[in-house]
Homo-oligomer: A and B are copies of this chain.
Amino acid sequence: MCHVGFVANDRPFVIPTTYGRVGDALYVPGSPASRMLRTLSSGVDVCVTVTLVDGLVLARSAFHHSINYRSAVIVGRAVEVEGLDEKRVALDAFVDHVVPGRAVEARPPNDRELRATIVLRLPIDEASAKVRTGGPIDDDEDLPLAVWAGELPLRTIAGPPVADRGVDGPPPDYLTGYRRGANE
């Protein structure tokens, strides 16, 4: 998921949502923002941030505790996607971003569903990334302290797929072999 930030009534809001990337465009569902914004037609300033947590960093000193993570921050003006064809591309991207290869198997969206979906397109023009890796960086005078220090790696794993009622057959390979970020 990503976190989409936008301004409504001069105040910031941050909403978690899904997203998809197609080339140099990022697509995000516009529904969270549209509820709070009077119009999307002229575009809306957004900030889309994606963060993956990789580990906890325990230093000898409280001050130098940290978190290992990777984040990308994309800022710009998002515009509402009008055409149904582009909305279809965006919806496929949402689905395939979460589970690569899924979009061609699911029943595709029909025109009614596409019209009901608000999609924003954000050009990936202005972005920054931040990565922290490795162990703690303590002050030299703290190194002799008898405090355990190091990193606790974290990762996301999938449990066994849970079939919906009425579903026959085994879960598809892309679920049993799922790894977060396998499509990155």
Residues of A with Cβ closer than 8 Å to B?
1, 3-7, 10-16, 18, 45-49, 51, 53, 56, 58-63, 65, 67, 69, 71, 73, 75, 91-92, 94-95, 98-99, 102-103, 105-109, 113, 117, 135-136, 138, 142-143, 145-167, 169-172, 175, 178, 180
Contact = CB atoms under 8 A, between A and B. Distances in A.
Given A58-B106, A156-B157, 15 more contacts: A7-B7, A12-B46, A13-B75, A15-B49, A16-B49, A56-B98, A60-B106, A105-B147, A106-B147, A135-B165, A148-B170, A148-B175, A149-B163, A150-B161, A151-B164
Contacts of A65: 94-95, 98, 102, 106
Contacts of A151: 161-162, 164
A46 B12 CA distance: 6
Contact of A135 (B157, B160, B164): B164
Main secondary structure of the interface of A (DSSP, over half): mixed
Copies in the complex: 2
Contact of A159 (B51, B92, B152, B166): B152
Contact of A136 (B92, B113, B148, B164): B164
19 contacts: A1-B67, A3-B51, A4-B14, A5-B13, A12-B12, A12-B13, A13-B47, A14-B49, A15-B49, A16-B51, A53-B156, A58-B106, A148-B167, A151-B164, A153-B158, A153-B160, A154-B180, A155-B159, A156-B157
